[in-house]
Amino acid sequence: MNKIIIINGPNLNLLGEREQSQYGSVTFNDLKDSCVARCNELNLKLDFKQSNIEGEIVTLIQQSRNDHDGMIINAGGLTHTSVSIRDALSIFKKPIIELHISNIYKREEFRQKSLISDIATGVICGLGTNGYILAINSMQVMLNNENR
């Protein structure tokens, strides 16, 4: 059974409470439950993590090298600023999907630059929390293709 990790960055724990016009009304726990359910349907083992602290996210990425077959990351605002997260992702060497709930290219100019897109295998943005399910589906396809 393949094992994946979803890493969520700063403020994503407040989904459903903050900026519903950008992020919708789905809560963080509802999102986690949906992701767990979809992974169960696809026979994927899931770790679902969130941190508001950059160094903790770097540590999660580093630890994932040995424990996970793929990663989905929504680094939140750190997407645009964290060289440390970028460097950690560059040593993961397995499929990575960068994910954003909102369309970062329709937002403020400073949000339109991602430091991790060129490290990621693929990018999903602007599809709301449904992007998580799409990322899980895509990750399963990528992992199945690697195992052939």
Q: Is 105 a catalytic residue?
A: no
The backbone torsions φ and ψ at residue 94, rounded to the nearest 5 degrees and listed phi first, read -135, 170
The two structure tokens encoding residue 93? 């060497």
Q: State how far the alpha carbon of 30 is from the alpha carbons of 25, 26, 27, 36, 42, in Å.
A: 10, 6, 5, 10, 19
Q: How many CA atoms lie within 13 A of 62 on its CB side?
A: 10
Exposed / middle / buried, residue 73 (Cβ in 10 Å: 0-12, 13-18, 19+): buried
Q: Considering 23, 80, 105, 132, which one is annotated as catalytic?
A: 23
Helix (H, G, I), strand (E, B) or coil at 10: coil
Q: Considering 68, 80, 100, 105, which one is annotated as catalytic?
A: 100
Q: Is 100 a catalytic residue?
A: yes
Any idea which residues carry the catalytic annotation? 23, 100
